[in-house]
Structure 1
Amino acid sequence: MFFYVQGVITKADESGTFDIPAFVKSLTTTAPGKATSFRPLSENTVADYVQSVSHLAKRLGGSKQDWAVKEVGDGNLNFVYIVTGASGSFVLKQALPYVRCVGDSWPLSLERAYFEVTALQEHGKHCPEHVPEVYHFDHPMALFAMRYLAPPHIILRKGLIAGTKYPLLAEHMSDYMARTLFNTSLLATSTTEHKAAVAKFCGNVELCRLTEQVVFTEPYMIASNNHWTTPQLDEDAKSIREDDYLKLEIASLKSKFCEKSQALIHGDLHTGSVMVTQESTQVIDPEFAFYGPMGFDIGAFLGNLALAYFSQDGHTSDNSNRDEYKEWILKVLQDTWNLFKEKFLLLWTDKSQSMGDAYPAGVYTSLETHKLAQKIYLRDLFEDALGFAGAKMISRRIVGIAHVEDFESIENPELRSQCERRALNFAKDLLKTRSKLASIEEVIQLIRKV
């Protein structure tokens, strides 16, 4: 997912200016001893590249004259191609050394492709059922090939807007989050392994700072990137900027986002990063991945389900009523957390899985003490998740920079603003009262009251 951030590019130490031409040129120069250098591909050159990679060509079958290449990227950050042959297919994704929709006036590190691939492989190791397989990675070219999620796979957000039910969604997403978060945390790994992994992903600082800016900073001040349904939400946006208590809550969450290296998180786990069918759930696009607070992933997903719930009244018509569907969304939200908690604790209880250094078995020999430690840990995680859910709902999705199709597709601004205001009020309540909410069922009650 891309967020447009207006401003200047400075060095990491904020000294001097950034030599854009030299930067771009450096990325297109062949390094000593390397067979390839970076060059952006196009629909006309993808087949030539694939032909040069024997195992990819073999996967497609036939010759390059038989292959079909279609560019399907969203036009923001990367090139994304679907490549199809006689006997197979895959998706080829390539990063650019700048923001695609802006141009080379805004450089962006090609290393984000490395972090995305590494996250896909690490998460895929722990949860292969819900993470597409990576077939190929070319580091100098900043591109990789992965499994093509063919129709009827659809972006979950679009399915929720259409009012489609996915009976396995809560089961699958709770499984994905429990397994990826637990197994990359100190509950399952040694401090040596964990610190090495944290250090590796610290290199993804550009996208982390982007999140810090658009989620935790700009929505609470006057910033050119912010926008909302105006004039309907003008006072609502102003009230956020003037709410000091809310700002204190956000400051605490930003601190956790920056400092809490609990597990390898997806970093942008919204309903646009999940592809679904009635039987399949696949998590994609982890280019924002880093070692951060577990609650950020959980909160992002739960918060986006809440956004989908509040948007439903804007998608009704004379021939349709979404009340029953709204109840289904709330059930998914409730089940996702409860199932996550259950699966997470099962992993922690399994001695073959819980071999990490955080809670060594030799110390927590008492069953009562062990269960109490788990209870405290899950309580903190629940509170974090609720806080991050509220933050994501307010900032990126209603008064911040990157809005969601759930609301944006509601053409009537009066109706859209009514849906957005309810979501905004819930998010603020969630941020301010999360420490008092004892269960996900109480969160559901809070949603119903708005």
Structure 2
Amino acid sequence: MEISTPDGDGFRPLDEKSLVEYIKATPPLLAKLGGTVDNLHVKEVGDGNLNFVYIVVAPSGSLVIKQALPYIRSIGESWPMTKERAYFEAAALRIHGRLCPAHVPQVYHFDHAMSLIGMRYLEPPHIVLRKGLIAGVEYPLLAQHMAEYMSRTLFYTSLLYTTTTEHKRAVTEFCGNADMIRHTGQVVFSDPYKVSQYNRWTSPYLDRDAEAVRQDNFLKLEVAQLKSMFCERAQALIHGDLHTGSVMATQVSTQVIDPEFAFYGPMGFDMGAFLGNLILSFFAQDGHANQGNDRKAHKKWILRTIEETWNLFYQKFMALWNENKDGPGEAHLPTIYNNTDVLQLVQANFMGDLFHDSLGFGAAKMIRRIVGVAHVEDFESIYDASKRADCERKALNFAKMLMKERRKFTSTTEVVLAIQEVDS
């Protein structure tokens, strides 16, 4: 990856015309397009909340340009946001790409002053996973690939593998992404539980439901614990926003994108975000059912994927731990945890806590997508507001129960049964 040195405040947002000139003057990008900007096709596809995203295709190559704006794109300049997130996104892509190259797109170029990343274009038939799930597409390798990505990125950036010195150095670097961490803390753990100008929901159908969230003292106790954990526990380099809109997929490929919220945080936040968004997709399916497809088979597949993702992650993470139990990691020194019995006790305790953390964070991510600021297309694309609200209410009720009662669950099989009970 080539990194350009920032030159004062040299930032300027690029449009399609100025982007072509930028590429022409940037050798690493120009080389990926065959050395010429002739016959370029440029398309802006940034339909997210934050950034400009351009797909650039030439006869001899292709790439994606992503540029961070100094505010939230979906809201405007009234909600400023640091452009520095581009630096941390590029750094996280580089680190996670080294640890799991099969499931992270390659970065070609990073320009600090321009808050700009040039990276691999995930060509069709790659589509955003969320859109595929809405369309009823099944991805047979999704659970395996996501388990591989999370197990490798989380294990190898934790103290289970690294020394304290290495870990603290990395934690310190990513503390620079504090604005994004604060933003996540606000929209996930704070705004949904109080009156906020940015909150919205399917009104009037969910007015009472939103009010119930704001009045639920036990829910507030649990979310306070989760927020503390999110802010204070620097376990591993997490993606920080690992929802189904941050994954591009085909039947044989799964690519994780957009880690601009990356920092050293609790492992369960990534697992919870992914599982929570799969659960949201499950509850949205009835709103997309029609006479030609009742979505029942797709709902069963989503539930299998939820189970398989955690179970495969558990297997892969434990395998990495056992392979490296005598390695450089300083969390559990082999001179202390020097027999099978004690190591198994430590592992069981660690994985049990991680499972419950994941359920709690997953529940928080679900709640914020229903009564908070940024919603999900899974529900938003259900045009009948009454039907949409029915789907959202089931998801919200499940999420509230899951957050408050997560410690009683011992397996994803039990979680799936609880989902089916709410759905019945």
Fold match by TM threshold 0.5: yes
Which range moves more in the overlay, 325-334 or 93-102?
A: 93-102
1:430 corresponds, among 383, 386, 402, to 402
Cα distance in 2 between the residues matched to 1:81 and 1:117: 16
Q: Percent identity?
A: 59
Among 116, 119, 124, the alignment partner of 2:89 is 116
Q: Note if 1:417 corresponds to 2:392.
A: no
Q: How far does residue 102 in structure 1 lie from its aligned partner after superposition? A: 4.8
Q: Map 1:3-42; keep pairs closer than 5 Å.
A: 34=7, 37-42=10-15
Q: How does 1:136-147 map to 2 (within 5 A)?
A: 136-147=109-120
- 1:10 matched residue in structure 2: none
Residue number in structure 2 paired with 1:161: 134
SS for the counterpart of 2:16 is coil
Partner of 2:238: 265
Q: Which residue of 1 aligns with 2:412?
A: 440
Cα offsets for 1:168-221 (capped at 9, x unmatched): 000000000000000000001001000010110111111111111111111111
From the superposition, tell whether residues 286 and 344 of structure 1 become closer, same or farther in structure 2 (CA, over 3 Å).
same
CA distance in 2, matches of 1:35, 1:244: 48
Aligned to 2:60: 87
CA distance 1:106–1:239, change in 2 (3 Å): closer
Residue pairs, 1:323-362, within 5 angstroms: 323-351=296-324, 354-362=327-335
Structure 2 residue ranges without an equivalent (≥5): none
| Contact 2:272/2:358 (8 A) holds in 1 | yes
State the TM-score, normalizing by the size of structure 2.
0.95
Where does 1:37-48 land on structure 2 (aligned, <5 Å)? 37-48=10-21
2:34 aligned residue (27, 44, 61): 61
Matched residue, 1:398: 370
Shift of 1:65: 2.8
State how far apart, in whole Å, the 2-side matches of 1:352 and 1:219 are.
41
**One-letter amino acid of the structure 2 residue matched with residue 201 of structure 1:** F
Distance 1:220 1:323 in 2: 33
Match of 1:385 in 2: 358
Deviations 1:349-390 (A, max 9, x none): 003785311011121111110011000000000010000011
Match of 1:133 in 2: 106
Moved more, 159-168 or 83-92: 83-92
Counterparts of 1:151-300 in structure 2, within 5 Å, are 151-300=124-273
For residue 263 of structure 1, report the CA deviation from its aligned partner. 0.3
Query: Please, which runs of 5 or more residues in structure 1 have no aligned partner?
Result: 1-30
Structure 2 CA distance for aligned equivalents of residues 136 and 261 of structure 1: 28
Deviations 1:219-245 (A, max 9, x none): 111112111111111111111111101
The answer (yes or no) to whether the contact 1:263–1:293 under 8 Å persists in 2 is: yes
Task: Report deviation, 1:439.
Answer: 1.0
- Opposite residue 51 of structure 1, the aligned amino acid is K
2:80 and 2:250 map into 1 onto residues whose CA distance is 36
SS of alignment partner, residue 361 of structure 1: coil
Aligned to 1:12: none
Q: Return the alpha-carbon distance in structure 2 between the equivalents of residues 104 and 223 of structure 1.
A: 18
How much is the aligned-residue C-alpha RMSD, in angstroms? 1.8
Question: Relative to 1, partners in 2 of residues 1:148 and 1:438: Cα closer, same or farther, differing over 3 Å?
Answer: same
Compute the displacement of 1:96 (Å).
2.2
Aligned counterpart, 1:14: none
Separation in 2, partners of 1:156, 1:276: 6
Paired with 1:100 and 1:301, the residues of 2 have a C-alpha distance of 24
Q: Which residue of 2 aligns with 1:26?
A: none
- The residue number in structure 1 matching 2:278 is 305
Aligned-pair distance for 1:311?
Answer: 0.7
Q: In the superposition, relative to structure 1, how do residues 418 and 90 fare at CA in structure 2: closer, same or farther (>3 Å)?
A: same
Matched positions, count: 419
Give the superposition deviation at 1:421.
Answer: 0.9
Taking structure 1 as the reference length, the TM-score comes to 0.90
Shift of 1:116: 0.3
SS at match of 1:124: helix
How far apart, CA to CA, are the structure 2 residues paired with 1:375 and 1:33? 46
SS at match of 1:65: coil
Distance 1:174 1:75, change over 3 A: closer
Contact 1:347 1:354 in 2 (8 A): no
The amino acid that maps onto 2:259 is: P
Cα distance change on mapping 1:32 and 1:271 into 2, 3 Å: closer
Which one-letter code corresponds to 2:42 in the other structure? V
Q: Return the offset for 1:32.
A: 11
Q: d(CA) in 2 for partners of 1:32 and 1:272?
A: 31
